[in-house]
Amino acid sequence: MNRRQMIGSTAGVAVAAATGFPASAAFAESSTGSLKLKGNIHHSVSQWCYGDIPLDDLARACAEMGLESVELLWEKDWGTVKKHGLKCAVGYATDYGIPKGFNHIANHEKLIADFERMIPIAAEAGIPNLICFSGNREGQNDNVGMVNCAIGLRKLMPLAEKHGVTIIMELLNSYGHTDYQCDKTSWGVALCEMVGSERLKLLYDIYHMQIMEGNIVDTIKKNIRYIGHVHTGGVPGRHELDETQELHYPAIMRALVESGYKGFVGQEFVPTQTDKLDSLRKSVLICDV
């Protein structure tokens, strides 16, 4: 190590100690090997953020890092991650997209049929969660939308309870996802209480909820019983979780651990670095408290 390298290394350690962000992935891992993870967080990653990397290659890299899951996959892809020793923490059950959800009764026939078909299949494959959406308001009152969601989701709960599969309703910001109805934690919590089953939880997306309401740590602590899955993302821009954005992810992850959260944390940021997998490594380390 020459003087310049030593100075850079010393400065990097100081930055990491002061900020809580690893200054370089080199401090906790080899460039291609396993991350030295603490085991308090179950790490996952959303496949769509790495769509230009073949899933087989992504799964292999994630397994080498020590992640546990690649998520947001269709049934046809579950076997690909399984062969690398990974889970799919969240699967898709229906090809109805984000705008067409449970908040409109007209969507229920297809949604219920799709979920009823997929719940047993997910259980057999070891998929713990299937994602669902409220859908867009389309001029509908928030209370009416909540009641409609509850009507549809209640019909699925006996089957979900029987098979041990959790349906997770994602919280999204209604600026980027214009008109989306489940855009506040309070709305999602009220829906969970209305449905009244442990097999309906929220997908608490930190990026989206920072945009809509902030107060992330306190919200997590107060509502942890309703949170079944977590997504990350830097604000603004939905990029890396480093010092360039406004959220301090080590503190957020500590709040999850201290609250007794046992679910997965899915990295769902869009990498800006050329080496996207290196970007993933660094963000996982930031979250590994």
What domains, with CATH codes, occur in the chain?
A: 40-287 (3.20.20.150)
- Could you tell me the CA-to-CA distances from 254 to 35, 117, 209, 225 in Å, in that order? 19, 37, 18, 16
Looking at residue 34, what is its pLDDT? 84
Which candidate, 266, 225, 269, 224, places its Cα nearest to that of 244? 269
Q: Are 180 and 140 in contact (CB under 8 A)?
A: no
What pLDDT was estimated at residue 1?
Answer: 38
Q: What sections of the chain are H helices per DSSP?
A: 3-19, 55-65, 75-82, 108-125, 142-163, 185-195, 206-212, 216-223, 249-258, 276-287
Phi, psi (deg, nearest 5) at residue 190: -60, -40
Q: How far apart are CA 21 and CA 134, in angstroms?
A: 35
Q: In the beta sheet, which residues pair with residue 46? A: 71
Which regions in the chain score pLDDT beneath 50? Answer: 1-19, 22-31
Q: Would you state the pLDDT for residue 32?
A: 52
Residue 45: predicted pLDDT: 98
Euclidean distance between CA atoms 187 and 180, whole angstroms: 12
Question: Which residues, 6+ apart, have CB-to-CB distance to 205 below 8 Å?
Answer: 170, 171, 172, 230, 231, 233, 268
